[in-house]
Amino acid sequence: MTIRSRRDSVVFKHSFCIEGVDRPLPAGTYEVVTDEEEIEGLSFLAFRRIATSFRATESSRARLTTESFDIDPDDLKEALRIDAAA
């Protein structure tokens, strides 16, 4: 079984909340990683999503910290919709 990861970036213009993250996050660019597995037994190549994670990177004088949160893609779409409407 083949698994692939797709990376995308999303930009929030305002601070925001998203289901699966325990605190508000500041405006900025965030990485979204979607893992997909190949659907075997078909006559064409097809994949199904098995996980979506959201990566938040914060920097301070002492260090760079990256946290990864498992999220629902629909929650991400909703957070982006709210951000665009603000």
Domain ranges for the chain: 3-85
Q: What is the CA radius of gyration of the chain?
A: 15
What per-residue confidence (pLDDT) applies to 20?
A: 82
Is residue 46 within 8 Å of 38, Cβ to Cβ? yes
Cβ-in-10-Å burial (0-12, 13-18, 19+) of 33 comes to middle
Spatial distance between the Cα atoms of 64 and 39, rounded to a whole number of angstroms: 37
pTM: 0.80
- Under DSSP, the state recorded for 19 is T
- pLDDT tens column, 6-59: 999 999 999 999 988 888 999 999 999 999 999 999 999 999 999 999 888 876
Helices (H), 1-86: 73-85
What per-residue confidence (pLDDT) applies to 75?
A: 94
What per-residue confidence (pLDDT) applies to 60?
A: 66
